[in-house]
Amino acid sequence: MKKIISMCISICLCAAVFSGCTENSPSSSEKKTEASSSAVEETTDVSSELESEAEVMSAPESKPEETSSSQSEPAPEETSDITPAMWTVSDDDGHEMTLLGSMHALTEEDYPLPNEIMDRYNSADILAVECDIKSEESAKMSFAILKDAYYDDGTTLKDHISEEGYEALSNYLSDTMYDISTLEKMKAWAVDSVLEEVGLQLSGLEYDKGVDGYLLSLAHDSGKQIYEAESIEFQMDMLLGFSDEIYDFLFRSLEDYTPQDSADELIDMHEAWRTGDVEALDDTEEEEAEELSDEDRAIYDEYNKQMLIDRNAGMEECIKELLSEGKNVFFVVGAAHYIGDDGIISLLEKDGYKVERVKYK
C-alpha cells in the first residue's frame, strides 16, 4: 500500500496531463511533442488554480445527514459484513488502545463500517493516523508540490531511468489514455503517481472513500483530537526522496504488466482488507520479491526499508508513547504496516506488549 499523501498529487497530475492531451489532440509524433511542451508550460497555471481550491477540497467529507421523512416507519438499520483486521494492544500498566488496518481507497459498498469499528472510534478521545490528509495544510502542500513535478534542468525522464524502464513504462501506458510523450518532462516520482491513479481508476476503488479519510472527516466535524504518527512533510520528503534507481526498478517491474493487472491487484488487496486476511497481504509482498535478481533485490530491499520497515518502527514508537501516557486512542494506519516480521504487531509483541485480534460478532 503506497503512501497516502500521493493520492491528491496523483489525481491532480492526471487531471493536468489529461487536460493537456485532450486540448492538443496530437495526430503525429511531432504534435505529441508540442503537446507535451504545452502541458509543461501550463503546469504552473494549473497548480495555481488547484492551490486556490485546496481549502475547499480539504473540507471534511463525512456522509450527509438524511432528511426527515413523512413516513411513520423508521428506515431499517444498515449493517456491515466486512471484517477488517483490528487489534487491541495493552501494556503491563493496564493501558490499552485499538489498532485498525486501513485501506486508503475503498468503495461506497464498504460503508457503513462495522459497529465494532465505529464503537471503538466513538469511544476514543484521539484519532491517530499517518497524517491528517483532511487538514488545510495538507491540501495546500500537496498542490504546491505539483510545481516541482517537472524537470527544469533540461533533462527528461529518459536521462534518469534505463532504456528498459522507459520501454516498459511506454508499453504499459499504451493501454491507457496517456502517451509517454506527455510525461517525458515529468520527474520520476510524478510519473509514478500518475501510474497509481491509472490502476485505481480501473479498479473501481476511490481515494475519497478510504477509511482514514472517512474517519478524519468525522473527527474534524466533531472536534475529536487528531494525532499524526508521521506528518505531511515527512511523507512528501519520502515521495521525493526515492532514488532514480528505485523508480527505474518500479518502472522496469511493469514489463509484461498491464493497467488491468494493476487494477486486479488492487481488487485482490481490497478483498483481503474486507475479510481481514492479513496473510494474503503478506504473501503478495513476498511473491513479488522472490523472483528478483540479486541487484534488483537490493534495490527492492532499500525501497521496502524506506516505505515500510523504517516507518513501522516509527509508528510502533508512537503507539508505545501513547500507551505509556494512558491516552484513549483509536490508531489507524495502512494494513500493510501491521503485517510480517517487521510489522507493527510483531514489533510490539517482541517488546513485551500484549496484542489480541478483535473478533467481529
For residue 120, is pLDDT > 80?
yes
| 102, three cell numbers | 486501513
- Cell readout for 295 is 541487484
pLDDT, residue 177, reads 86
Coarse DSSP helix, strand, coil percentages of the chain, rounded to the nearest 5 percent = 60, 10, 30
Give CA–CA dist 126/226, Å, rounded.
Answer: 6
Query: How far is Cα 162 from Cα 243, in angstroms, rounded to an integer?
Result: 13
199 contact partners, CB below 8 Å, separation of at least 6:
259, 262, 263, 265, 266
pLDDT of residue 79: 76
> Do 335 and 281 touch, CB atoms closer than 8 A?
yes
Mean pLDDT, rounded, of the chain:
82
Region 76-95: mean pLDDT is: 89
Q: What is the pTM of this model?
A: 0.81
Supply the pLDDT for residue 68. 41
The answer to whether the CB of 301 falls within 8 A of the CB of 352 is no
pLDDT over 70, % of the chain = 76
pLDDT of 64 reads 37
Burial (CB < 10 A; 0-12, 13-18, 19+), residue 92, is exposed
pLDDT at 236 over 90: no
pLDDT for residue 172 is more than 70: yes
Predicted local distance difference test score (pLDDT) of residue 283: 63
CA atoms within 13 A on the CB side of 253: 19
pLDDT at 111 over 80: yes
For 329-353, the pLDDT digits (tens) are 999 999 999 999 999 999 999 999 9
| Whether the Cβ atoms of residue 197 and residue 96 lie closer than 8 Å to each other | no
User: 41-85: per-residue pLDDT in tens?
Assistant: 444 444 444 444 444 444 444 443 443 433 445 444 567 899 999
What average pLDDT does range 116-129 have in this prediction? Answer: 98
Residue 81 in 3-state DSSP? Answer: coil
pLDDT digit string, tens, across residues 285-318: 555 666 789 999 999 999 999 999 999 999 999 9
At 25, the pLDDT band (50, 70, 90 cuts) reads very low
Q: What is the pLDDT of residue 286?
A: 55
Residue 124 predicted with pLDDT over 90: yes
Is the Cβ–Cβ distance between 127 and 215 less than 8 Å?
Answer: yes
Length, in residues, of the chain: 361
User: Could you tell me if 315 and 50 are in contact, meaning their C-beta atoms sit under 8 angstroms apart?
Assistant: no
Please tell me the least confidently modeled range out of 8-22, 267-281, 300-314.
8-22
For the chain, the structural domain boundaries read 6-56+80-357
**Considering only CA atoms, which of 321, 24, 40, 71 is closest in space to residue 186?**
40
Judged against a pLDDT cut of 60, whether residue 209 lies above it is answered with yes
pLDDT band at 32 (very low <50, low <70, confident <90, very high): very low
Predicted pLDDT at 67: 38
